[in-house]
Every structure is written in C-alpha cells, then in structure tokens.
C-alpha cells in the first residue's frame, strides 16, 4: 500500500513541477498581427498555485489508500518536506525513489 502511495506521490510531484504558465497574446496594430508567446520564468520559490496543486493532486490520488483526513495530513507533510529540501520547485523533479521513500516514511506513520 505504501509503495502505491509513493508512486502516486511521485506522479503528482512531476505534474505539479511541470505545470508552467504559458499564454499567447495577439495584438493587431493597424493591420499588423503580432503573436507573442510568454512562458513564466523559472522561479526559486514555490508559487501558491503550485503548492496547492501538489497538495490537491496528492490528496485526490491518495484517498484510495487512506482516509481523507490521513491523505490531507500526509500530503501536507510531504509538500512541506519537499519544499524545505527543494526551495526551487522545478528542482523537486530531481527526487529519486529512495529520497521520496525516506520522506514518505516520516509522513505516513
């Protein structure tokens, strides 16, 4: 059961880390169309939206293995541990399974 939870947690982590804000603005200046694609710059802090998305996805994916209350507790614990160790949320994607297992042990107990 823990192994399944950890795999789900890893998938959630990667999804949250790869969530980039992209947008396209099209401007018409006297018949000229200019298209600009903007990508959010890499940041060193975890944006609230990324933090909340990680926790929400983690909880949604963990409910099959534990109660809602326990899932919320574990996911908040994991998010805090990961953010403390990886302040740049993009770097959190470098976590390997051994590191995730070690963090999860403390949170799942």
Ranges of each domain in the chain = 2-108
Mean of pLDDT values over 46-58? 92
**pLDDT at residue 99, rounded to an integer:** 87
**pLDDT at residue 86, rounded to an integer:** 92
Interatomic CA distance for residues 54 and 102, integer angstroms: 19
Q: 78-94, pLDDT tens digit by residue?
A: 999 999 999 998 898 88
**pLDDT at residue 22, rounded to an integer:** 43
Looking at per-residue pLDDT, the higher value among 107 and 109 belongs to 107
Looking at per-residue pLDDT, the higher value among 44 and 100 belongs to 100
Strand residue runs (E) in the chain: 22-29, 32-39
């Amino acid at each position: 059961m823990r192994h399944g939870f950890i795999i789900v947690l890893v998938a959630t982590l990667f999804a949250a880390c790869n969530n980039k804000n992209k947008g396209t603005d099209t401007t018409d200046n006297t018949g000229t169309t200019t298209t600009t694609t903007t990508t959010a710059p890499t940041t060193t802090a975890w944006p609230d939206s990324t933090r909340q998305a990680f926790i929400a996805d983690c909880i949604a994916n963990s409910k099959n293995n534990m109660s809602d209350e326990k899932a919320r507790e574990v996911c908040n614990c994991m998010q805090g541990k990961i953010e403390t160790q990886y302040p740049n949320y993009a770097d959190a994607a470098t976590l390997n399974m051994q590191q995730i297992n070690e963090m999860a042990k403390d949170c799942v107990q």
